[in-house]
Amino acid sequence: MANFELTREFLEDLKNTIDSKNEKLAAEKVADLHAADIAEIYDELDIDEARFLHLLLDDEKGADVLVELEEDVRESFLKNLPAETIARQFIEQMDSDDAADIISELPQDVKDEVLSKINDVEQAGDIVDLLNYPEDTAGGLMAKELVAVKMNWNILTSIREIRKQAEEVDDIYNVYVVDDDNILKGIISIKKLLLIPTSESISTIYDPDIISVKVDTPDEEVANIMDKYDLVSIPVVDSIGRLVGRITIDDVVDVIREEAEKDYQMASGISGDVEPSDNVWVLTRARIPWLLIGLFGGILSALVMGQYEGDIMKYAGLALFVPLINAMAGNVGVQSSAIVVQGLANNSLGLETLSKKLFKELSVGFTNGIICSTIIFAYNFFMSDSYSLTITVSIALFSVILFASVFGTFIPLALNRFKIDPALATGPFITTINDITGLFIYLFIGRIMFTII
């Protein structure tokens, strides 16, 4: 399947085809496209055009496209469809994890009706089980479809059972080994099953070294485990070790992307999970808290400057470098906190202790402070006629960079220690605190220097 690029020409041609109600030609235009490409097309169509096109797809591809749609688009798409259509044409064609995700988005009355219309009672039961798990846990991520063999089976029996189970599984990454109580015991490769004599018992050849997660394991931890061990799938067990599902790499990629989006929004001063399509009130509510923090931070900065108003009026040159001090304090703090937050997110900090990390950032801050303060000293030495101002700005800049480096490191580590998302320490929060503190350090040092020199 070739890589598809949605162009304006293709979209206009498709819209004209839909407007003319030419079902055969419209179906041909999207017949060879991947479900994700068709979902991208839906984003550019109005809801009636998208529904027209969707009804031309076979049930399996239609279900795949529905999974790929953005949540708000999918909600509009399903809004006026009968529960029976949602159940029979879409839900019954999906893996249990995708089906549970979509059903969870429906209103409660529609959710119950859709579940009652599913023909396969076992599938409906699997979906109900998955709906009971929090969505940010392994149980909320997993699918029930998997391939497992009993450890007392021989190879021939196992292959026959795998063929039966494979009908319900799109991709077989691993074959899991369980005992008679469905307790996970290990794993066996397809290659080994094909090469070992058919009379051999599974119990003698399976690999007992298997990495698994429990149903209540947080989704971020699942993603970190799969990333650390380069896994494409991982089994999920309950509290007594029974195999209840598996998580595949596509689900983990979604977790990583969503977490990255959330951290980026936090770093940008946006609280809550918002989308560009959200209404004005939702977007305002997500942004205003950090804007208010910035507003109060500005008021505090003004109060700090008010305390040194006499010094500023007496030594007017001090005011010229306030923007420089504020900018450097905010930038250095954000740099330090961003590195720490990134390390905490991907566990790359390892066993590095708080004191070691702080000492490292102190060293980095010291080096950067020396470089920057030397440059500003040289500039003022030749461009300013005030030696006191030259010394003040250089010492203050060095002190502010040192403080911002340590503070930007300490805050995310402290938040993480208390189980608070360290991403809160980036962006407006760290910038506002450093602005206020940096301004105070600068004016305090200025008062001392202009008095001494």
**Comparing C-alpha atoms, which of 447, 450, 452 is closest to residue 307?**
447
| Number of domains making up the chain | 3
Same domain flag for 205 and 326: no
- Specify whether the CB–CB gap between 16 and 31 falls below 8 A: no
The CA distance from 81 to 305, in Å, is: 62
For 255-271, the pLDDT digits (tens) are: 888 877 776 666 665 65
Residue that finishes a domain, picked among 87, 118, 140? 140
| Distance of alpha carbon 98 from alpha carbon 104, whole angstroms | 10
The answer to whether 290 and 423 have CB atoms below 8 angstroms apart is no
User: Residues 83, 158: one domain?
Assistant: no
Write the CATH number for 376.
1.10.357.20
Structural domain that includes position 378 = 280-452
Q: Is residue 269 part of a domain?
A: no
CA distances to 31, 64, 68, 69, 79 from 58, rounded to whole Å, are: 10, 10, 16, 17, 20
Are both 305 and 239 inside the same structural domain? Answer: no
Q: Domain holding 185: CATH number?
A: 3.10.580.10
Residue 335 neighbours by CB distance under 10 Å: 19
Same domain, yes or no: 441 and 317: yes
Last residue of a domain, one of 121, 140, 159: 140
Asked whether residue 448 falls in the same domain as residue 319, the answer is yes
Tell me: the pLDDT tens digits for 344-383?
A: 766 666 555 567 777 888 899 999 999 999 999 999 999 9
Q: What share of the chain is helix, strand, coil (3-state, %, to 5)?
A: 65, 5, 25
Dihedral, 234, 235, 238, 244 alpha carbons, nearest 10: 130
Measure the CA–CA gap between 278 and 276, rounded to whole angstroms.
6
In a domain, 15, yes or no: yes
- Segments of the chain scoring below 70 in pLDDT: 1-2, 263-278, 345-354, 423-427
**Domain of residue 131, CATH code:** 1.25.60.10
Q: Could you tell me if 187 and 241 lie in one domain?
A: yes
Which pLDDT score is estimated for 426? 63
The answer to whether position 162 is within a domain reads: yes
Q: Are the C-beta atoms of residues 283 and 274 closer than 8 Å to each other?
A: yes
Query: Do 178 and 234 sit in the same domain of this protein?
Result: yes
Same domain, 318 and 243: no
- Supply the pLDDT for residue 70: 83
Residue 3 lies in a domain: no
Question: What local confidence, expressed as pLDDT, does residue 424 receive?
Answer: 64
Do residues 217 and 138 touch, judged by C-beta distance below 8 A?
Answer: yes
Judge whether 270 lies within some domain: no
Within a domain: 253:
no
Shared-domain flag, residues 220 and 133:
no
> CA geometry: angle at 361 spanning 357 and 364, to 5°?
145
What is the spatial distance between Cα 434 and Cα 437, in angstroms, rounded to a whole number? 5
pLDDT recorded at residue 277? 61
Q: Does residue 128 share a domain with residue 155?
A: no
The answer to whether residues 437 and 303 belong to one domain is yes
Domain shared by 44 and 153, yes or no: no
Residue ending a domain, among 197, 224, 248, is: 248
